[in-house]
Amino acid sequence: MTVSEKVFDTIVVGGGLVGSAIAWGLAREGEKVALLDEGDIALRASRGNFGLVWVQSKGKNMPEYARWSRRSADLWSGFAEELKEATGVSPDYHKPGGLHLLLSEEEREEAKALNKRMSNYYGELSPDTVLMDRKQVEEILPGIGPEVVGASWSPHDGHASPLNLLRALHMANAARGTHYVAEANARKITRDGSGNAVETDKGTFRAAKVILAAGHGNKPLGAQVGLNLPLIPEKGQILVTERTKPFIPMPLHVMRQTEEGTVLLGDSHEDTGYSTESVTSVFTDIARYAVRCLPKLAKLRIVRTWGAVRVLTPDGSPIYDQSETHPGVFSVNCHSGVTLAGAHALALAPQLAAGKLDPEFDAFSSRRFDNGTVHIAAH
């Protein structure tokens, strides 16, 4: 393809879960799409993802995010089926509900108050979370630790394989004719007549619309088009056990059993910049907490570990914005690349194809941070 031929309806910058889901959704709408991927030098949060499709507790400080998460979970079954039909690769999506184990009476009271608040304010698209006592939890998850007093459970929670999801999305994009370009690190975005131009290591690409979905790379790119994106790196580490017979029937907030039989353990939140270095002390804390929840885990060997960097905003909720200085340039920023994949592909992409975000997305604009009063949310 010559430089003069690199003209598309939409350019998506970022080949991870967020960018790939949006690119596929755009191609599904009939758009001619270029998907520009930085390559393996990127932080690749998509490949370090835990794999939860999680609704309960999402948006506890933003009703719009709660409804958006629930909407995505509702879309996920059809989304997964369509990807499997198109590619033969299943994202391994299951929706048995999800448990957040409670290890003290204080945690139970906090969960009770949160559930009440979300039910009161979030309407029909609430997580429908219910509190279970210890006996009810034991019926679902035998062998829980003595400290477990109960759990919160949402029927809308589930889990998927991030790696299979990413593979399926890339294959589905290829089937739809999306032009994928590897090692095409976006350097500069400029106005180009009535459209926009993206300068990369692989040449210049032109389109009426540009979608920034490059994770932490969005921050410097956004600054070029008048978007102030206060993105924050947060490291999370994961432990993987050896394969064993199925014994965890649904995902928990800190663990899930995969199709292959391994158990993923996680939930660290570390302020270490952009480092992905593995830290033994953090692994120890993760393992100890997991064993408190489910003692039988102590008998399994850890076979693999890794760290990855989340893409967070100051309040933990997504940012969806359109540039005022560069019409047609949008920015998509979130740490819920798996949970929101269904909504990004099937609900957001049609709006991006039309060139305008619905008013419901005004709440997600980065303008909410302009007064400087929003604090970093706990996760």
The upper half-sphere exposure of residue 339, i.e. CA atoms within 13 Å in the direction of its Cβ, equals 24
Percent of the chain predicted with pLDDT > 90:
84
List the one residue out of 177, 164, 230 whose CA is nearest residue 372.
230
Distance from the Cα of residue 351 to its chain's centroid: 19
- Mean pLDDT, residues 2-18: 83
The pLDDT of residue 267: 85
How many angstroms separate the most distant Cα atoms in the chain?
Answer: 67
- Torsions phi, psi for 109 (to 5 deg): -65, -40
**pLDDT over 70 at 377, yes or no:** no
**pLDDT over 50 at 115, yes or no:** yes
* Residues paired with residue 100 on neighbouring β-strands, in sequence order: 152
Mind listing the pLDDT tens digit for each residue in 279-301?
A: 899 999 999 999 999 999 999 99
**pLDDT over 80 at 304, yes or no:** yes
Percent of the chain predicted with pLDDT > 70:
96
The pLDDT of residue 334: 95
Mean pLDDT of the chain: 92
Domain 232-312: CATH architecture, name and number where available: 2-Layer Sandwich (3.30)
List the one residue out of 65, 128, 115, 98 whose CA is nearest residue 312.
65
- Mean pLDDT, residues 34-46: 79
Lowest pLDDT segment from 78-92, 120-134, 259-273: 120-134
Confidence of residue 43 (pLDDT cuts 50, 70, 90): low
Q: Residue 298, exposed/middle/buried by CB under 10 A (0-12, 13-18, 19+)?
A: exposed
The pLDDT of residue 372: 60
**pLDDT over 60 at 365, yes or no:** yes
Confidence of residue 278 (pLDDT cuts 50, 70, 90): confident
- Torsions phi, psi for 93 (to 5 deg): -85, 130
How far apart are alpha carbons 349 and 21 in whole angstroms? 8
Distance from the Cα of residue 277 to its chain's centroid: 21
Mind listing the pLDDT tens digit for each residue in 67-82?
A: 999 999 999 999 999 9
Mind listing the pLDDT tens digit for each residue in 157-174?
A: 999 999 999 999 999 999
The pLDDT of residue 378: 40
The answer to whether 335 and 345 are in contact (CB under 8 A) is no
| Residues contacting residue 282 through CB under 8 Å, at least 6 positions apart | 237, 268, 270
**pLDDT over 50 at 153, yes or no:** yes
The pLDDT of residue 42: 64
Quick one: tokens of 240?
A: 């993987």
How far apart are alpha carbons 197 and 166 in whole angstroms? 26
For the domain made up of 3-51+163-229+318-369, the CATH class stated in words is alpha beta
List the one residue out of 110, 98, 101, 158 whose CA is nearest residue 134.
101
The upper half-sphere exposure of residue 50, i.e. CA atoms within 13 Å in the direction of its Cβ, equals 25
Angle between helices 63-87 and 105-122 (to 10 degrees): 90
List C-alpha distances in Å: 198 to 6, 192, 296: 10, 9, 52
Domain residues of the chain, as ranges?
A: 3-51+163-229+318-369, 98-154, 232-312
The pLDDT of residue 118: 83
**pLDDT over 90 at 227, yes or no:** yes
